[in-house]
Structure 1
Amino acid sequence: TLGVRDLARSTVFFESLGWRRSVKDAPGVSFFQCGSIAFGLFPLDELAKDAGVSVKGSGFEGFSIAYNARSKAEVDEVLAEVQSLGAEVVKQAEDVFWGGYSGYFRDLDGHLWEVAWNPGFEIDADGAVKLPD
């Protein structure tokens, strides 16, 4: 679950990427089915309150979330799309040392996302990533 400043705006942002919103009758939260995981958006203040922590502070939190693409072209398309929706591309896509292709963006609330194509990862028709054995 990501804490977001504007739930409605962030929900539209992810829906605009083609993500299917699930459980639409859950007030105050948005859920998306992402392959075999559930991805949630919740108001930042409420998430901090629920966790018993302060909302104050910002910066790099020591993690990124990966969006796995099926091709290099899809990586470029996703980065262009998120930028048009208000995200900040912080690193343009490029070939990387591990044999793939990736770039990074910060979403509307500053969460860091990697958009990556990994030739060793299979992605099924539903978007689930199958890691190599």
Structure 2
Amino acid sequence: MDQRVSFITLVVTDLGATRDFYVDGLGWEPELHVVGEVLMFRVAEKVVLSFWAEAGFVAEVGHAPTRGGVPPITLSHNLATTDGVDTVLEQARVAGATDVGAAEQRAWGGYSGYFADPDGFRWEVAHNPGEIGQSVLP
């Protein structure tokens, strides 16, 4: 098997609220949107972030997702500067993100803060000055 990820799919309770947050709030452009079913964004040349309505997930997978608490996953948006981190966190707050935390210097040498989308998925907004962090910048 090739070492790669093609799709990251997150199951959401309200696809309309998810669309409002990412499209209207953060200004993202959908690659595909089937109302009430799925919303997809191309987030890298060969990577798609997909938001799937819970009913479709249950119908295909056969089990309802576990809800409650903080989902045990983070997504990260890496930026070239610490000012960029602060700007994106503020944009997320204005878009309606919850649990927006101020960015801070981290023990690993970077600068990051977090916000939660409408379903509680945590986004880390970071400036990673290390070699791997720099390698993922556009």
The TM-score with structure 2 as length reference comes to 0.77
Native 8 Å contact 1:3 1:45 kept in 2: no
Residue of structure 2 equivalent to 1:72:
82
Residue of structure 1 equivalent to 2:29:
20
State the SS of the aligned residue for 2:41: strand
Which amino acid counterpart does residue 92 of structure 1 have in structure 2?
A
Which one has the bigger strand percentage? Answer: 1
Native 8 Å contact 1:102 1:117 kept in 2: yes
Q: From 19, 40, 47, give the equivalent of 2:57.
A: 47
State the SS of the aligned residue for 1:62: coil
The reply on whether 1:117 has 2:123 as its aligned counterpart is no
Native 8 Å contact 2:32 2:40 kept in 1: yes
The reply on whether 1:11 has 2:23 as its aligned counterpart is no
The TM-score with structure 1 as length reference comes to 0.79
State the SS of the aligned residue for 1:92: coil
State the SS of the aligned residue for 1:21: coil
CA shift digits 1:85-105 (9 cap, x unpaired)? 221135321011111110111
Which one has the bigger helix percentage? Answer: 2
Which amino acid counterpart does residue 45 of structure 1 have in structure 2?
A
Gaps of 5+ in 2: 1-8
The reply on whether 1:95 has 2:105 as its aligned counterpart is yes
Instruction: Report the alpha carbon displacement of residue 116 of structure 1 after superposing the two structures with TM.
Output: 0.8
Instruction: Give the percent of matched residue pairs that are identical in Structure 1 and Structure 2.
Output: 34
Gaps of 5+ in 1: 124-128
Q: 1:92 to 1:42 in 2, by over 3 A?
A: same
Q: 1:113 to 1:48 in 2, by over 3 A?
A: farther
Residue of structure 1 equivalent to 2:3:
none
Q: What root-mean-square deviation, in Å, do the aligned CA atoms of Structure 1 and Structure 2 show? A: 2.0
State the SS of the aligned residue for 1:122: helix
Q: From 84, 88, 91, give the equivalent of 2:94.
A: 84
Instruction: Report the alpha carbon displacement of residue 49 of structure 1 after superposing the two structures with TM.
Output: 3.4
Q: 1:103 to 1:57 in 2, by over 3 A?
A: same
Cα distance in 2 between the residues matched to 1:112 and 1:30: 18
Residue of structure 2 equivalent to 1:106:
116
